[in-house]
Amino acid sequence: MRLKVYKHLFFDLDHTLWDFDRNAEETILELLEKYDLAEFGVTNGEAFIRHYQEKNEKLWTLYRAGKVKKEYLRVQRFRSTFKAYGIEDQELIHEFAEDYIRICPTKSHLIPNAIEILDYLHERYRLHLITNGFEEVQYKKLKHSNIRHYFREIITSEKAHCKKPDQRIFDYALRQTSAGKREGLMIGDNFEVDILGAQNAGIDQVYYHPEHNGQQNSATYTISGLDELKGIL
């Protein structure tokens, strides 16, 4: 027996629907080629990407905590990656960082089964997004991956003036959608940000965790593939 009747589904975007890693990797590999960085010693694109991801994650943690600004994050993640290769040409780094921001959101790879599950859920629930990404960037992603039409409200942290896991962004989302707490369900890949955030706001959660090995956690539901949502909803 299902105890709650969900009406509003709040999706996270990056890594939950939009395949961030694949899109970012494709963009970076193209840019390494464009700027002929093999000439400067960047001969292994995958290794460069691993360096970059490490720096990017650390900076995102700082950004979420309000310790750095987005303009800083956008350039610094490449500046510190290039530094590991002894590349400190600031003009090149800025151009590379700008190209990345411009091109990456135009990539359209989605997480497996995203379209099928959105088609299925769209007919049964009201779908919305709660995303910490930058407003203009997130809209570009939705447009190019052709999933904008599935969502009624798009709640970005820029619009809400606070970021997940801050409870205020979830309260804001409930207000914007006229949803009751018990009618809402948050679906996201980041445990601290999406799951604990929604939990604090009194909203049930689906933890999308592709590497899930059956280990217990405090999320209402845990899935390792988006198709499993059909078993819940």
| Residue 139: both structure tokens together | 């809209």
> In terms of CB distance, is 23 or 96 closer to Mg ion?
23
Closest approach, Cβ 120 to Mg ion, in A, equals 21
Dist. CA 111–CA 60, nearest whole Å? 21
- Chain positions 111 to 130 lying near Mg ion, rule: CB under 5 A, are none
Q: Distance from CA of residue 124 to its chain's centroid?
A: 24
Residue 52: which residues within 8 A CB-CB, separation 6 or more? 28, 77, 78, 81
By the rule CB under 5 A, 19 interacts with Mg ion: no
Assign residue 19 a region (left: φ > 0; alpha: ψ between -120 and 50; beta: otherwise): beta
Contact of 70 with 135, CB cutoff 8 Å? no
Closest approach, Cβ 12 to Mg ion, in A, equals 4
Dist. CA 78–CA 87, nearest whole Å? 10
Closest approach, Cβ 146 to Mg ion, in A, equals 19
Q: Which of 6, 11, 14, 207 binds Mg ion (CB under 5 A)?
A: 14
> In terms of CB distance, is 12 or 19 closer to Mg ion?
12
By the rule CB under 5 A, 15 interacts with Mg ion: yes
> In terms of CB distance, is 11 or 78 closer to Mg ion?
11
Site stretch for Mg ion (CB under 5 A), options 4-12, 32-40, 110-118, 217-225:
4-12
> What residues line the site for Mg ion (CB under 5 A)?
12, 14-15, 189-190
